[in-house]
Amino acid sequence: MIKIIFVCYSQGTGGEKLATEISKLDKCNNLKSKTVEQRTITVDILECEGRSGPINYDTIHKILNKVEHSPKWYVVPTHYHPIMLDKINAKKLYVIINNPTDSSHIKMVENNIIEKVLLHKFSNILELKGQIEADGYDPKSILSNMSGIQTYDKLQCLYNNLDTSEENIAKIHITYPPKQKMTYLSNTDYLNAIYIPYKNTLQPNFYQTFTKSLSKSLTI
């Protein structure tokens, strides 16, 4: 059975970066990633199907059936709650970044969302198309209304049937993201889950210390 470490996180809390660092462990398969303007962007074995938006288990299982079986763990970053991911046919371990509770850390995440998510410029049409599909929209319909340099805040305008004026983009920056209904945002216990307070991810050498600890609990 395929083994997956799901890194569950809210936007702006560094889930893709953490997932990439975990995948560097000897007991894991490498997660494809790239860094664009300080943002880590990944492409996981689920082809980002398990990332966000409407979840389709049939599509996910069809993708998994084509994935190379390996004794090592695959790593998948996701915005879904483990309850939803439990329906995926795989051996699973959850690494969960809890949302910040300190006001300064909350502001830090909000700034991350604006700078690394909303202001992200898509490098090519395939990346743009993939993002639209992942968000649950029809690329053909959305792309027909786009022009110029494409950023994620412009996409959000079009999703909401708004033109991409400076005024509307400013509104998106204030109201995005919509409140996410995830109970793992607080410290709750869940089977096969490791919880990480957001503030811990800001500590020096966090990735090195955490992945070293995690490696001891992984089996292949």
CB contact at 8 A, 149 and 121: yes
Q: What is the mean pLDDT of the segment spanning 109-127?
A: 88
Q: What is the mean pLDDT of the segment spanning 137-157?
A: 88
Q: What is the pLDDT of residues 1-39, one digit of tens each?
A: 999 999 999 888 999 999 999 999 999 999 999 887 778
Phi and psi (nearest 5°) for 145? -105, 10
- For residue 49, give the DSSP letter: T
CB contact at 8 A, 63 and 49: yes
Q: How confident is the model at residue 192 (pLDDT cuts 50, 70, 90)?
A: confident
Q: How confident is the model at residue 191 (pLDDT cuts 50, 70, 90)?
A: confident
Q: What is the pLDDT of residues 47-92, one digit of tens each?
A: 888 777 778 999 999 999 999 999 999 999 998 888 889 999 999 9
Look at residue 183 in the predicted model and tell me its pLDDT: 45
Length of the chain: 220
- For residue 115, give the DSSP letter: I
Measured distance CA(151)–CA(157) in Å, rounded: 10
Asked if residue 139 has a cis previous peptide bond (ω within 30° of 0), the answer is no
